[in-house]
C-alpha cells in the first residue's frame, strides 16, 4: 500500500444535512475523498452510511450542503448525471436485473458507452456490430477478472448470494468508473467469500486506479484495506483519519463499545 | 378435415388479434414492471383519434381515397399517442419512481378512466368507422386439396400479417439493441438502472410511446372490424387471459398465448359447444387461464420467479 500514489481530492462532501420529516439522517457531514484511495465509511447500524452514499449517488437530495466532484460543485446530484460523470455503485441489498443473464447484467453497465444508431444495432451491421463486439470484449475481461466465467449465461436470480454480489460489482465496473461506491459488498458473506471480495476491491483499486468509497461493517476488513476512514454515529461525524487514528479515537471507541457512566 | 382446418385458421387469426392487445400489456410490464390497466383505454383512445382524424382530414382536404386519409390519420393518431405517453410520464410516473407495483397499478387505473373520458369528450362518443381499405370478401383456398376448399377471411388474414410483423420488430428491438436492454433493466430494478446511468424518464416515455403505437395498431384493426365505440376498451379484458397464459414478461408468450386462446375458443365452441349448450367462446379463455394459473403461475414463457427464503 505504500507504493500507492494517492492524488488530489476528487470528491468533496461539504456540510451535508439530510432529514426525512423529523428524522435527521445526516447532520453537517463533511469529508473528502482523494484520487486512487480506498476511503471507508463506518458506523453502527442506522448511523447514516447508506444515506451518505445515496446523497453522493443522487438518490437522496440533502437539504443543506454541497458535493464537489472534480471541482464542479452541486447542491444535489442527479442519478443520471452521476453515472455519466463516472461514479458507479453497488447496492447493500442486491439490486440486480434478476431475469437477465450475468452477461446482460454486466453489459447493461456499458449502456452509457454504446453510441451507435438503434437501427444499426437491431440489424447488427457495420459500426454497430464492431461496437457490440468491443463492448462484449470489455465485459468478458470483467467476467474473467471476477472469476465468473462459468455463469455467463445463467440468469442472476439463480446464482448464490456471494456470486450475485460479484455480478453487482461487475456491472458497476463495466461503467469504467473513476469512483466506485460500494455499499456493504461483504455483508452476509462467509470468510472465503469476504477474502475474494477484498481481493477484487484491492485489485480494482490497484490495477485500474479506481477510487473506492466503501461502506463495511467488518472492522477487520475496513482496517486492513482502507487508506482513510470516516466514522459516523447517529448521523454525525465522530471520527476521520487513518485506520490507526480512528481506532485510537475515544469517541469511536465509545460509539462501538459503549461508555461507562 | 377441411372444416377442422377452417376453424383452426379462423382461430389462429382471431388469436393474432388478441395477441396484439396482449402485446401492449407485455411491453409496459417488461419495461417498467407496471401492469398497465389503461391498455384498453389506450386502444379506444387511439382508435377514436384515428377514426375522427380520417373523417376530418377527408373533409378538410377533400381527399376521397380511404387509404390516404387513413395514412394521414394514423400518423396524426400516433402523434397523439406520443403526447399521451409524455403526459403520463411527466405527470404520473415521474412522481412514482421506486414505488410499489400496486401503487403504479392504481395509477394506471386512474389513467384508464381519465383516458376514456377525455377520448370521448375530445372525439365524441358515437360509433365511428375506420376504413383502411382492407378487402372484406373471403376467399377460398386449397380448393384442389379439399372438396369445396377452405374459406379464408381476407381481412383477418391481413390483420394477422400486420400483427406478426409488429411482433417481429418488437422482439428484435428488445433483444438486440442497447435501448431494449435498458428497457429490460428498468423493468427489473429502477434504482440499479439509474445507478448505471439509464435515464428512467426517457425510457418510460419510449416504452409508453411504443405501447401507444401498439394500441393504435390494435385499435385500427379491431376498429375496422367492429367499429370504433366504447366497447373497444373492453377488448383489453379479452386479452387478459392471453397475458396470463403466455406470461407477462414475454413477447413471444403474448403471441403463443393469443394463438392458443384464439384456437381454443373456436375449436371448443364448434366441437364442445353442442354438448354443453353453446356460448363457450365467451368464457373459455378465462377458464383456460385459470387452469394455467394453477399449474404455471408465471405463464408459458414467463420468467420463473425464484425467491430466496
Q: What is the pLDDT of residue A203?
A: 92
What percent of chain B is predicted at pLDDT more than 70? 97
Please say if the pLDDT value at position B4 is more than 50.
yes
Give the nearest chain A residue to B168 (CA atoms).
A122
Residues of A with Cβ-Cβ distance to B188 under 8 angstroms: 96-100
Give the nearest chain B residue to A58 (CA atoms).
B195
The mean predicted confidence, pLDDT, of chain A is 88
SS (H, E, C) chain B: CHHHHHHHHHHHHHHHHHHHHHHHHHHHHHHHCCCCCCHHHHHHHHHHHHHHHHHHHHHHHCCCCHHHHHHHHHHHHHHHHHHHHHHHHHHCHHHHCCCCHHHHHHHHHHHHHHHHHHHHHHHCCCCECCCCCCCCCEEEECCCCCCCCEEEEHHHHHHHHHHHHHHHHHHHHHHHCHHHHHHHHHHHCHHHHHHCCCCHHHHHHHHHHHHHHHHHHHHHHHHHHHCECHHHHHHHHHHHHHHHHHCCCCHHHHHHHHHHHHHHHHHHHHHCHHHHCCCHHHHHHHHHHHHHHHHCCCCCCCCCCCCCC
Span B77-104, pLDDT tens digits: 999 999 999 999 899 988 887 778 789 8
Span A74-118, pLDDT tens digits: 888 888 888 989 999 998 887 888 878 899 899 988 888 877 777
- A57 vs B195: CB contact, 8 Å cut-off? yes
- B198 vs A161: CB contact, 8 Å cut-off? no
Q: What is the mean pLDDT of residues A237-244?
A: 91
Residues of A with Cβ-Cβ distance to B176 under 8 angstroms: 121-122, 124
Span B157-201, pLDDT tens digits: 888 888 888 888 888 888 788 888 888 888 778 788 888 888 888
Residue A84 is given by DSSP the state H
Please say if the pLDDT value at position A128 is more than 70.
yes
Please say if the pLDDT value at position B309 is more than 60.
no
- A108 vs B185: CB contact, 8 Å cut-off? yes
User: Which of B186, B197, B250, B305 would best serve as a mutation to test chain A binding (most A beta carbons within 10 A)?
Assistant: B197
Q: Quote the pTM value.
A: 0.77
- A172 vs B177: CB contact, 8 Å cut-off? no
Please say if the pLDDT value at position B222 is more than 90.
no
Span B27-50, pLDDT tens digits: 888 777 788 889 999 999 999 999
Please say if the pLDDT value at position B155 is more than 90.
no
Confidence of residue A167 (pLDDT cuts 50, 70, 90): very high
Confidence of residue B300 (pLDDT cuts 50, 70, 90): confident
Q: What is the pLDDT of residue A213?
A: 94
Name which of A249, A173, A251 is nearest A212 in CA terms. A173
Query: Contacts by B229-232 with C-beta closer than 8 Å and gap 24+?
Result: B229/B126, B229/B127, B229/B128, B230/B44, B230/B116, B230/B120, B230/B125, B232/B40, B232/B43, B232/B44, B232/B47
Please say if the pLDDT value at position B275 is more than 90.
no
Residues of B with Cβ-Cβ distance to A83 under 8 angstroms: 194-197
Please say if the pLDDT value at position B281 is more than 60.
yes
Confidence of residue A122 (pLDDT cuts 50, 70, 90): confident
Beta carbons of B60 and B214 less than 8 angstroms apart: no
Beta carbons of B299 and B245 less than 8 angstroms apart: yes
Residue with the larger pLDDT of the pair A248 and B143: A248
A247 near B CB under 8 A: no
Confidence of residue B233 (pLDDT cuts 50, 70, 90): confident
User: Which of A111, A125, A178 would best serve as a mutation to test chain B binding (most B beta carbons within 10 A)?
Assistant: A111
Task: Count A/B contacts: CB-CB distance under 8 Å.
Answer: 97
Residue with the larger pLDDT of the pair B147 and B105: B105
Neighbours of A215 (CB within 10 A): 24
- A97 vs B189: CB contact, 8 Å cut-off? yes
Q: What is the pLDDT of residue A2?
A: 46
Please say if the pLDDT value at position B206 is more than 80.
yes
Provide ipTM, 2 decimals.
0.76
The mean predicted confidence, pLDDT, of chain B is 84
Q: What is the pLDDT of residue B305?
A: 60
Amino acid at each position: 500500500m505504500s507504493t500507492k500514489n494517492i492524488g488530489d481530492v476528487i470528491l468533496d462532501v461539504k456540510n451535508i444535512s439530510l432529514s426525512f420529516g423529523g428524522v435527521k439522517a445526516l447532520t453537517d457531514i463533511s469529508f473528502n475523498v482523494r484520487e486512487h484511495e480506498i476511503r471507508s465509511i463506518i458506523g453502527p447500524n442506522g448511523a447514516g452510511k447508506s444515506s451518505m452514499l445515496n446523497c453522493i449517488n443522487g438518490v437522496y437530495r440533502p437539504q443543506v450542503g454541497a458535493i464537489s466532484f472534480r471541482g464542479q460543485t452541486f447542491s444535489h446530484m442527479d442519478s443520471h448525471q452521476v453515472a455519466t460523470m463516472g461514479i458507479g455503485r453497488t447496492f447493500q441489498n442486491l439490486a440486480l436485473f434478476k431475469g437477465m443473464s450475468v452477461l446482460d447484467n454486466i453489459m447493461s453497465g456499458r449502456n452509457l458507452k454504446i453510441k451507435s444508431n438503434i437501427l444499426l444495432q437491431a440489424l447488427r451491421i457495420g459500426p454497430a456490430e464492431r461496437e457490440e463486439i468491443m463492448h462484449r470484449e470489455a465485459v468478458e475481461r470483467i467476467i474473467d477478472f471476477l472469476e465468473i466465467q462459468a455463469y455467463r449465461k445463467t440468469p442472476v436470480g439463480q446464482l448464490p448470494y456471494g456470486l450475485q454480489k460479484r455480478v453487482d460489482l461487475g456491472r458497476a465496473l463495466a461503467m469504467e468508473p473513476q469512483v466506485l461506491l460500494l455499499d456493504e459488498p461483504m455483508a452476509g458473506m462467509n470468510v472465503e467469500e469476504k477474502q475474494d471480495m477484498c481481493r477484487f476491491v484491492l485489485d480494482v483499486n490497484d490495477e485500474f486506479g479506481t477510487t473506492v468509497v466503501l461502506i463495511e461493517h467488518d472492522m477487520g476488513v475496513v482496517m486492513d484495506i482502507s487508506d482513510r476512514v470516516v466514522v459516523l454515529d447517529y448521523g454525525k461525524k465522530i471520527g476521520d483519519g487513518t485506520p490507526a487514528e480512528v481506532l485510537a479515537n475515544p469517541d469511536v471507541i465509545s460509539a462501538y463499545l459503549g461508555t461507562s457512566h | 378435415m377441411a372444416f377442422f382446418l377452417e376453424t383452426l385458421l379462423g382461430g389462429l387469426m382471431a388469436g393474432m388479434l388478441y395477441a396484439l392487445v396482449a402485446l401492449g400489456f407485455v411491453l409496459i410490464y417488461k419495461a417498467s414492471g407496471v401492469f398497465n390497466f389503461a391498455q384498453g383505454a389506450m386502444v379506444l383512445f387511439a382508435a377514436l383519434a384515428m377514426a375522427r382524424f380520417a373523417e376530418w382530414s377527408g373533409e378538410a382536404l377533400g381527399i376521397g381515397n380511404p387509404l390516404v386519409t387513413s395514412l394521414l390519420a394514423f400518423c396524426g393518431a400516433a402523434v397523439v399517442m406520443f403526447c399521451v405517453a409524455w403526459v403520463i410520464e411527466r405527470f404520473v410516473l415521474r412522481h412514482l419512481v421506486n414505488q410499489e407495483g400496486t401503487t403504479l397499478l392504481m395509477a394506471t387505473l386512474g389513467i384508464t378512466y381519465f383516458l376514456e373520458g377525455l377520448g370521448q369528450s375530445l372525439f365524441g362518443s358515437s360509433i365511428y368507422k375506420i376504413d383502411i381499405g382492407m378487402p372484406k370478401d373471403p376467399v377460398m383456398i386449397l380448393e384442389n386439396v379439399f372438396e369445396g376448399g377452405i374459406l379464408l377471411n381476407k381481412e383477418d388474414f391481413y390483420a394477422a400479417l400486420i400483427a406478426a410483423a409488429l411482433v417481429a420488430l418488437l422482439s428484435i428491438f428488445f433483444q438486440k439493441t442497447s435501448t431494449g436492454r435498458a428497457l429490460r433493466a428498468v423493468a427489473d430494478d429502477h434504482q440499479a438502472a439509474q445507478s448505471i446511468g439509464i435515464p428512467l424518464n426517457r425510457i418510460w416515455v419510449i416504452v409508453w410511446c411504443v405501447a401507444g403505437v401498439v394500441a393504435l395498431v390494435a385499435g385500427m384493426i379491431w376498429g375496422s372490424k367492429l367499429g370504433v365505440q366504447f366497447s373497444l376498451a373492453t377488448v383489453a379484458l379479452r386479452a387478459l387471459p392471453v397475458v396470463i397464459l403466455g406470461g407477462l414478461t414475454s413477447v413471444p408468450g403474448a403471441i403463443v398465448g393469443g394463438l392458443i386462446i384464439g384456437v381454443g375458443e373456436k375449436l371448443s365452441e364448434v366441437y364442445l359447444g353442442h354438448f354443453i349448450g353453446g356460448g363457450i367462446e365467451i368464457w373459455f379463455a378465462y377458464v383456460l387461464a385459470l387452469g394455467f394459473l394453477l399449474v404455471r403461475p408465471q405463464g408459458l414463457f414467463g420468467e420463473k420467479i425464484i425467491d430466496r427464503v
